[in-house]
Amino acid sequence: MGYSKTILVTGGAGFIGSHVVRLLVNKYSDYRIVNFDKLTYAGNLKNLTDVENAPNYAFVKGDICDREALKNVFEEYNVSDVIHLAAESHVDRSIEGPMEFVMTNVVGTVNLLQQAKDSWNGEGNHVFHHVSTDEVYGSLGDEGLFEEITAYDPRSPYSASKASSDHFVRAFYHTYGLPIKMSNCSNNYGSHHFPEKLIPLMINNIVHKKPLPIYGKGDNIRDWLWVVDHASAIETIFHKGRVGESYNVGGLNEWTNIALVKHLCRLMDQKLGRSEGESEQLITYVTDRAGHDMRYAIDATKLESELNWKPSVTFEEGLDHTVDWYLNNSEWIEEITSGSYREYYESMYDNR
């Protein structure tokens, strides 16, 4: 079949990438979706078993730092567009070892930009959509929201690497005219989220009655968005966003970490038939994350007013779906937590 677009989705086996791949494969039978992923500890093809046999889906194992592999995939599939999600994504890991973040997030992104520039050669109708984070803007006090014009002020090795990649993406637009679009999103949650991140870690630990480690006093604030809504925002920006522009993505759902974990404890006590207050007793305050950003909060007005996007669920609804998914898919998380991840997590936890 002749496809109207062939979209290379990098990092499609990860948490957000798998939701983007699923959405595009199911909704656009005239698009071919090529998932290019290195399958690091965070990549898992079991995230995509429901679409793996679709005729418009292909998987290529590869590293965005490997220029030859990128050249091959662009040529073999005649890639017309890119949605770039491949990254090292966990702040705590970036504190333990920043170099992997420099390699994938900075060097890998520049490799990919160069390959797209060389393959497209300034001709035709293409989009290079770079998926980034609100952490590039730094840390907020009690007031204010991150806007697209907020000055970059990254503070962790992870956010410094993402900010650097954002700068390179803009540089390729201004210098070479590469048709880029960018999105900067707040904290995601939902199914297939690797259990080193706050929400899936807490869900899994509540199930197993293990300690719930809260960094510092638990008063840091994050702004949460259901991953399915992030995927729909990416779909919208990819199709309708203006070339050269960036769009903030978020749903105005600010929670302190401690309030969120207590809410989760109450919800799961009900779902698991436990007595009220039982899971809250597992809360354990541990040493704070180094350089812990205090508050993130996104102003998504530009995306909402210009492109008519809005989130489809409230935080409470999204969290309810998410907890149900983890309870109904315990083998997914068991497989991850019984492997080398367990050793990693236990060593991190011992350090705090």
Instruction: Give the catalytic positions in this structure.
Output: 134-135, 158
Q: Which of 253, 80, 100, 108 is nearest to 169 (CA)?
A: 108
- Of all helices (H) and strands (E), which one includes residue 70? helix 67-77
Among 44, 111, 165, 187, binds ligand DAU (CB under 6 A): 187
User: Residue 149 Cβ, how far from ligand DAU at the closest point, in Å?
Assistant: 18
Q: Which residues bind ligand NAD (CB under 6 A)?
A: 10-11, 13-17, 37-40, 42-43, 63-65, 85-89, 104, 108, 131-133, 162, 185, 187-188, 194
| Residues of this chain, 248-267, that bind ligand DAU according to CB under 6 A | 257
- The phi-psi region of residue 144 (left if phi > 0; otherwise alpha if psi is between -120 and 50; otherwise beta) is left
CB closer to ligand DAU, 33 vs 87: 87
CA distance 237 to 127: 10
Q: What is the CA radius of gyration of the chain?
A: 20
x-marked contacts with ligand DAU along 153-172 as a string, rule CB under 6 A: --------------------
User: Residue 182 Cβ, how far from ligand DAU at the closest point, in Å?
Assistant: 14
Q: For residue 252, what are its two tokens? A: 């105005």
Check binding of 191 to ligand DAU (CB under 6 A).
no
Q: In three state form, how does the secondary structure of 76-113 look?
A: HHCCCEEEECCCCCCHHHHHHCCHHHHHHHHHHHHHHH
Tell me which of ligand NAD, ligand DAU, none is bound by residue 326, counting a contact when its beta carbon lies within the kind-specific cut-off of 5 to 8 angstroms: none
CA distance 260 to 138: 22
Tell me which of ligand NAD, ligand DAU, none is bound by residue 19, counting a contact when its beta carbon lies within the kind-specific cut-off of 5 to 8 angstroms: none
> How many residues in the chain?
352
CB closer to ligand NAD, 279 vs 322: 322
DSSP single-letter state for residue 178? -
The stretch among 51-59, 175-183, 209-217, 307-315 that binds ligand DAU (CB under 6 A) is 209-217
Summarize as ranges the residues that interact with ligand DAU (CB under 6 A): 89-91, 133-135, 186-187, 197-198, 201, 213-215, 220, 222, 257, 289, 296
